[in-house]
Amino acid sequence: MPKKILLITGWGVGTAPLMPLQQALQQVGHRVELVDIFDWFDPIQKQQMLSRVAEVDVVIGWSLGGQLALLLVDAYQQITGQQKTLINLASNPCFVARENWSCAMPETEFTQFFQAFQQHPQATLKRFYLNICRGDAQAKQHWLNLQNTANPPDYALLMQGLIMLRDLNLVDKWLEFANSAYFIFAEQDAVIPCQILQKAPDIAVEAAHIVMLENLSHAFPMTHPELTAEQIGQWVTEASFVLI
């Protein structure tokens, strides 16, 4: 059955690179609204996005968008008691490593990236696009394509996005959704350690709906939209739980 889907992109790329995924999902009948990242800590933006969640069946997010999707679905459920299908694509519930969450980017590395973006935003974005394509057999071509298609938001929102990546720790919420959500990771992801499964045994055991795609990079929703759409389609049509 076709679904109404809200698809949230990740940090730094804008919506254009995810349009092929949007189109791949639409080709099989789903209605897909594609949106960029937003400031979760801005009450107006938060309420606007919750209003959009009310109109859809499925909320999908890539990378930072996955964290935002999790926050939206959780908040909507707390407010209304209604559950929306949650799908995370290459999204770490806690992007920067903590004492109790090592499967993430080291704090020093993130701080260096944060400072580099403040000083040289365009050059840092270019390097970021390369990093999220690393691990794919066609990494260089994907990197060039991404540079041509990316339409990132303004500097202020990108900075706020980095602050969210630095500060958000959603591991507990992720655990709460482990049995009802779908998590897709990439084996060769250079941004999120694939060891996230091995080093988080409680989540790995509890979540029966975690998929690790072989030989793909962090950017797989953009570089392999048809495969990603197929994975999403299987889950939204075969999900064993019923939305309230």
Q: Enter the pTM of the model.
A: 0.94
Taking CB atoms within 8 Å and a gap of at least 24, the contacts of 149-156 are: 149/16, 149/17, 150/12, 150/13, 150/14, 150/16, 150/17, 150/125, 151/13, 151/14, 151/15, 151/16, 152/12, 152/13, 152/14, 152/125, 153/14, 153/36, 153/37, 155/121
Domain count, the chain: 1
Residue 101, helix vs strand vs coil: strand
Residue 13 has pLDDT above 80, yes or no: yes
Residue 194 has pLDDT above 80, yes or no: no
Residue 172 has pLDDT above 60, yes or no: yes
Whether 161 is covered by a domain: the verdict is yes
Question: What pLDDT is stored for residue 228 in this prediction?
Answer: 98
Whether 190 is covered by a domain: the verdict is yes
Number of neighbouring beta carbons within 10 Å of residue 44: 9
Cβ pair 196, 218 in contact under 8 A: no
Which residue range(s) make up the domain with 81? 4-238
Whether 115 is covered by a domain: the verdict is yes
Report which of residues 198 and 30 the model is more confident about: 30
Question: What pLDDT is stored for residue 242 in this prediction?
Answer: 40
pLDDT digits (tens, 9 = 90+) for 127-166: 999 999 999 999 999 999 999 999 999 999 999 999 999 9
In this prediction, residue 204 has a pLDDT band, given cuts at 50, 70 and 90, of low
Burial zone of 22 (CB within 10 Å; 0-12 exposed, 13-18 middle, 19+ buried) = buried
C-alpha 12/C-alpha 50 separation (Å) is: 22
C-alpha 134/C-alpha 239 separation (Å) is: 32
The CATH number of the domain where 116 resides is what? 3.40.50.1820
Whether 244 is covered by a domain: the verdict is no
Whether 213 is covered by a domain: the verdict is yes
Residue 209 has pLDDT above 60, yes or no: yes
Whether 243 is covered by a domain: the verdict is no
pLDDT digits (tens, 9 = 90+) for 45-63: 999 999 999 999 999 999 9
pLDDT digits (tens, 9 = 90+) for 74-112: 999 999 999 999 999 999 999 999 988 888 999 999 999
In this prediction, residue 240 has a pLDDT band, given cuts at 50, 70 and 90, of very low
Taking CB atoms within 8 Å and a gap of at least 24, the contacts of 125-128 are: 125/12, 125/150, 125/152, 128/12
Whether 24 is covered by a domain: the verdict is yes
